[in-house]
């Protein structure tokens, strides 16, 4: 009477011959004793491999892997890792299998190995195709990025050159206007005098625009020098400096004293503060009491600086246009400007690995947020 739970020899043979995976029996010298299926390793008649050492069916690199697999089974090293091995097909090419090897003793008490093998060639081919596609995609992206960088560099050089070349003729026109005013003086009629004044105003505006374009292109060309920057003090100093030009206004400027020191380029931080505070002062100019607040929020992976005002604000649906070059959400008549200031701030922030965005409501003010990676916070050693 057979014990329950044990398979007899006939049942074991049935499972062996009908298993979905290839099962290979090896002797202690790794010679093939038996194969359960008619096809394996690209051979249509697996029986012709009986007596062959399994090591002879693969290349030198995969032979080492096979030897390690069998060695581990002899040493009774438990290895749950499924090894991938390629074998040489008889008519050329490679065929891939997943292998797992176990040690067992035969009826004659001889040490044999049982190898479970699963054909994974289709999967490996798909993986190789995907790898090749990813590599091709990476090359395309690299080339596109290179072309884009070249285009940006050319555009910046062009902007710099054109802006620089415009300075001389503008100075000449302004100079001629001054000469006319000085030479003719009281002999100028009102219309001519007004025309000369208009020319000077527009030249001043053009010079400011050129200066902003040069600043914008310069940021993309220069390297950053990262150092600890007391951004709180910098914004405070910049506000006090700009407030000197607003002597008759009532302005409350509040600042969070806990704003951390950040790692930033000092000169770019000054430019950023200059543009943001100038922007806040300009758009609060029609308020009886202007309110400007500089604060921060400490998040898990980032620090967010913000500058809030109670000025003219803007329609939030147009917020994506805030940082474009020459993009304006208000008329030149109401709030004069070049439309470059916030674009410069965005370029500075991006150059430091951060992000910038704005939120606002018409006639209720605006808030500009700058997020920087947590690693940009300076910790004194």
Q: Answer yes or no: do 231 and 363 share one domain.
A: yes
Q: Answer yes or no: do 68 and 182 share one domain.
A: no
The range of the structural domain enclosing residue 125 comes to: 121-222
- Tell me, what's the pLDDT at 226? 93
In a domain? residue 329: yes
Q: Answer yes or no: do 52 and 96 share one domain.
A: yes
Each residue of 11-25: pLDDT tens digit?
A: 777 777 777 788 888
- Reported as a pLDDT band with limits 50, 70 and 90, residue 204 is confident
- Tell me, what's the pLDDT at 1? 45
Are 170 and 207 in contact by the 8 Å Cβ rule? The answer is: yes
- Tell me, what's the pLDDT at 163? 60
| Boundary (domain end) residue, out of 197, 222, 247 | 222
**Mean pLDDT for the stretch of residues 29-40:** 87
Long-range contacts of 115-120 (CB under 8 A, 24+ apart): 115/23, 115/24, 115/25, 115/26, 115/54, 116/21, 116/22, 116/23, 117/21, 117/22, 117/23, 117/24, 117/40, 118/21, 118/22, 119/22, 119/95, 120/84, 120/96
Estimate to the nearest angstrom the gap between the alpha carbon of 152 and the chain centroid. 18
In a domain? residue 24: yes
- Tell me, what's the pLDDT at 338? 67
Please give the radius of gyration of the chain, using alpha carbons only, rounded to the nearest integer.
38
Each residue of 258-276: pLDDT tens digit?
A: 999 999 999 899 989 999 9
Each residue of 190-201: pLDDT tens digit?
A: 777 777 777 777
**Mean pLDDT for the stretch of residues 78-107:** 83
- Tell me, what's the pLDDT at 183? 73
pTM (global) more than 0.75? no
Are 34 and 25 in contact by the 8 Å Cβ rule? The answer is: yes
Q: Which residue, 99, 96, 216, is CA-closest to 152?
A: 216
Q: Which residue, 369, 358, 359, is CA-closest to 296?
A: 369
- Tell me, what's the pLDDT at 137? 87
- Tell me, what's the pLDDT at 81? 62
- Tell me, what's the pLDDT at 75? 74
- Give the sign of the dihedral formed by CA 55, CA 72, CA 117, CA 65: negative
Higher-pLDDT residue of 268, 82: 268
In a domain? residue 184: yes
- Tell me, what's the pLDDT at 144? 82
Question: What is the rounded average pLDDT for all residues in the chain?
Answer: 83
Show the tokens assigned to 148: 């884009």
Each residue of 118-176: pLDDT tens digit?
A: 999 999 889 889 988 888 888 888 888 887 776 666 666 666 666 666 666 777 777 77
Q: Which secondary-structure segment (H or E) carries 103?
A: strand 94-105
Evaluate if residue 247 carries a pLDDT over 90: no
Beta bridge partners of 53: 31
- Give the sign of the dihedral formed by CA 175, CA 181, CA 183, CA 188: positive
Q: Answer yes or no: do 243 and 304 share one domain.
A: yes
- Tell me, what's the pLDDT at 157? 66
Q: Answer yes or no: do 314 and 357 share one domain.
A: yes
Question: What total of structural domains would you count in the chain?
Answer: 3
- Reported as a pLDDT band with limits 50, 70 and 90, residue 213 is low
CATH number at 312 reads 3.30.565.10
Each residue of 288-322: pLDDT tens digit?
A: 999 999 999 999 899 999 999 999 888 888 788 88
Instruction: In whole angstroms, give the CA distance from residue 6 to residue 3.
Output: 6
In a domain? residue 1: no
Evaluate if residue 332 carries a pLDDT over 70: no
| Boundary (domain end) residue, out of 167, 198, 222 | 222
- Tell me, what's the pLDDT at 191? 75
Evaluate if residue 3 carries a pLDDT over 60: no
Instruction: In whole angstroms, give the CA distance from residue 89 to residue 59.
Output: 11
**Mean pLDDT for the stretch of residues 40-58:** 89
| Boundary (domain end) residue, out of 57, 87, 119 | 119
Per the listing, tokens 């790794």 go with 30
- Tell me, what's the pLDDT at 317? 83
Show the tokens assigned to 79: 């290895």
Higher-pLDDT residue of 9, 353: 353
CATH number at 213 reads 1.10.287
Evaluate if residue 334 carries a pLDDT over 80: no
Q: Answer yes or no: do 370 and 230 share one domain.
A: yes
Instruction: In whole angstroms, give the CA distance from residue 110 to residue 112.
Output: 6
- Tell me, what's the pLDDT at 145? 80
Each residue of 137-153: pLDDT tens digit?
A: 888 888 888 877 766 66
**Mean pLDDT for the stretch of residues 232-253:** 90
């Amino acid at each position: 009477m057979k014990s329950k739970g044990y398979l007899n020899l006939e049942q074991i043979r049935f499972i062996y011959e009908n298993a979905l995976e290839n099962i290979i029996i090896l002797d202690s010298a790794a010679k093939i004793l038996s194969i359960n299926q008619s096809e394996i390793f690209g051979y249509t008649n697996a029986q012709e491999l009986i007596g062959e050492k399994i090591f002879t069916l693969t290349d030198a690199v995969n032979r080492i892997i096979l030897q390690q697999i069998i060695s581990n089974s002899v040493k009774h090293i438990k290895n749950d890792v499924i090894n991938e091995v390629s074998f040489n097909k008889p008519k050329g090419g490679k065929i891939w299998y997943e292998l797992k090897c176990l040690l067992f003793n035969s009826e004659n008490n001889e040490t044999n190995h049982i190898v479970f093998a699963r054909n994974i060639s289709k999967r490996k081919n798909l993986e190789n195709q995907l790898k090749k596609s990813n590599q091709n995609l990476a090359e395309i992206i690299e080339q596109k990025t290179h072309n884009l960088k070249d285009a940006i560099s050319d555009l910046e050089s062009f902007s710099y050159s054109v802006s620089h070349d415009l300075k001389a003729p503008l100075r000449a026109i302004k100079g001629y206007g001054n000469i006319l005013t000085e030479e003719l003086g009281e002999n100028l009629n009102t219309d001519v005098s007004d025309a000369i004044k208009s020319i000077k105003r527009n030249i001043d505006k053009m010079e400011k625009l050129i200066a902003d374009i040069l600043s914008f292109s310069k940021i993309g060309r220069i390297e950053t020098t990262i150092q600890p920057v007391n951004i709180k003090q910098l914004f405070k100093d910049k506000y006090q400096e700009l407030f000197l030009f607003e002597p008759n206004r009532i302005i409350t400027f509040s600042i969070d004293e806990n704003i951390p020191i950040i790692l930033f380029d000092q000169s770019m931080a000054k430019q950023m503060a200059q543009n943001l505070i100038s922007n806040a002062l300009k758009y609060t100019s029609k308020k009886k009491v202007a309110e400007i607040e500089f604060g921060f929020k400490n998040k898990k992976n980032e620090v967010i600086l913000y500058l809030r005002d109670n000025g003219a604000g803007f329609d939030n649906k147009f917020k994506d246009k805030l940082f474009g070059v020459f993009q304006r959400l208000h008329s030149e008549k109401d709030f004069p400007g070049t439309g470059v200031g916030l674009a410069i701030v965005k370029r500075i922030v991006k150059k430091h690995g951060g992000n910038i965005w704005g939120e606002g409501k018409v006639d209720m003010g605006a808030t500009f947020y700058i997020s920087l990676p947590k690693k940009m916070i300076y910790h004194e050693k």
